[in-house]
Structure 1
Amino acid sequence: MTTTVTLVQGDITAQSVDAVVNAANSSLLGGGGVDGAIHRRGGPEILADCRRLRASHYGRGLPTGRAVATTAGRLDARWVIHTVGPRHSTDEDRSDLLASCYRESLRVADELGARTVAFPAVSAGIYGWPMDDAARIALGTVRATPTAVEEVRFVLFDTAAYEAFAARLD
C-alpha cells in the first residue's frame, strides 16, 4: 500500500483525522507551541491521560525520539500521538532522533489502527531545527517507513513552513 502525503497550511488542532501528532516535551504535561495548542483545544482529558502515563511507564518523562498515544479529548481525532523531538544542535548531529519521531509515531499509529495522521513540523519551532532540514527529514522518513497509514498530512502553521515542505515534496 502506498501512503499519500499531503500538505496543509493551517491549525493542526482543527484537522479531522484518526490521529494528531503532538510535538511534545518529555514531561508530557503540556507546553508551548503545538503542544500547548493541542492541550488547550483537546481539553483536560489529554492531560489526564498524560498524567496516567507519567505515573505508570514514563515517570522520568518520554525519551526523545519515542512516541506514545493518548485520547484526543475534544479534538476531531481519536488519538493524540505524543513524540518528543530533539533540540537542534550545531555541535551534534541529532537527525536520527528527529527521524525516529516520525518512525515511532507511525509505529504507534499502526498499533492503533489509524489510517489518517496529521503531523506538525517536529522540532522546527522552539527547538530550533531549520525548517528546510526538518522538511527533508520528515518527508524522507515518512516515505521510507513501512506503514498501514493511508494518509500522512503535514499541517504547517505558516507560509514559510508550508513552502519549505512543498519544495521538498516533489
Structure 2
Amino acid sequence: MITLQQGDITKVKVDAIVNAANSSLLGGGGVDGAIHRAGGNAILEACVKIRNKQGSCKTGEAVITTGGNLPAKFVIHTVGPVWNGGNNNEPQLLENAYRNSLQLAVDNNLQSVAFPNISTGIYHFPKEIAADIAVTAAKDFLMKHPEMDITFVCFDKENYDLYNALL
C-alpha cells in the first residue's frame, strides 16, 4: 500500500522514516537536520558508530539507526545524488536510494516506511523526475513485498501535487 501526505516527516508514526542524509551521516540542513534535531543525540551517536565501522555512506546506499525521540522506531539514512544535469547516473543512484532503503526495512522486519522527497532540496534533483523515480521504485518493490506500507511525506505542496498525480 502507498499513501501520501503533506507535512513534517518527524511527526509520522511508522516503523521507520527515511532520512535524506549526506554521506557524513552527521546531520545537515533540510530534512536531515530536522530529523537529527527531533530525534536527539541517540541518532547522532548511532551514526557516529556506523561511520567508525564503515566510513561514510555512499550515494544510493542506506544504513539504519534508532529513531531516538521520534515517533518512528528507526531512521533509515540514505544518500541521494546531487543533480549535475542527469549525465552522472543520478536517476539510477536515486532509484538505488529508494530500493536500498526499502530492502533495509524488509531485512529488519519492518512493516511501514515513510519517505521524504529525496534529493529535491539542496541537491537540486528535478522534482518531477524524482517523484516518478520514487513512485516507480515503490510500486516495483511492492510487487515482491505487498505487506509493506509505504508513505510519501511531502513537506511542500509542489511535491505533494506531483506525487498525487502519479499515484
Normalized against structure 2, the TM-score is what?
0.95
Relative to 1, partners in 2 of residues 1:36 and 1:149: Cα closer, same or farther, differing over 3 Å? farther
Contact kept, 8 Å, 1:5 with 1:151, in 2: the verdict is: yes
Contact kept, 8 Å, 1:117 with 1:149, in 2: the verdict is: no
Percent identity of paired positions between Structure 1 and Structure 2: 49
1:121 and 2:121 correspond: no
Q: Which runs of 5+ in 1 are unaligned?
A: none
Which amino acid in structure 2 is aligned with residue 51 of structure 1? V
Which amino acid in structure 1 is aligned with residue 27 of structure 2? G
Whole-Å separation in 2 of the counterparts to 1:72 and 1:87? 25
- Structure 2 equivalent of residue 17 of structure 1: 14
Contact kept, 8 Å, 1:14 with 1:76, in 2: the verdict is: yes
Look up the SS of the partner of 1:89 in the other structure: coil
Correspondence list, 1:1-170, <5 A: 4-57=1-54, 59=55, 61-90=56-85, 92=87, 93-145=89-141, 146-147=144-145, 149-169=147-167
- The answer to which of 88-97 and 141-150 deviates more is 141-150
Look up the SS of the partner of 1:56 in the other structure: helix
Whole-Å separation in 2 of the counterparts to 1:8 and 1:91? 28
Which amino acid in structure 2 is aligned with residue 96 of structure 1? Q
Whole-Å separation in 2 of the counterparts to 1:73 and 1:101? 22
Look up the SS of the partner of 1:80 in the other structure: strand
Whole-Å separation in 2 of the counterparts to 1:56 and 1:149? 32
Normalized against structure 1, the TM-score is what?
0.94
Q: How many residues align?
A: 164
Look up the SS of the partner of 1:6 in the other structure: strand
Whole-Å separation in 1 of the counterparts to 2:129 and 2:86? 16
Contact kept, 8 Å, 1:106 with 1:149, in 2: the verdict is: no
Look up the SS of the partner of 2:77 in the other structure: strand
Whole-Å separation in 2 of the counterparts to 1:24 and 1:91? 20
CA displacement at 1:81 relative to structure 2? 0.2
Q: Deviations over 1:74-125 (max 9, x none)?
A: 0001110000000112151410000000100011000111101000011111
Structure 1 segments of 4+ aligned residues over 4 angstroms from their partners: none
CA displacement at 1:168 relative to structure 2? 1.2
Contact kept, 8 Å, 1:29 with 1:51, in 2: the verdict is: yes
Whole-Å separation in 1 of the counterparts to 2:115 and 2:86? 27
Look up the SS of the partner of 2:5 in the other structure: strand
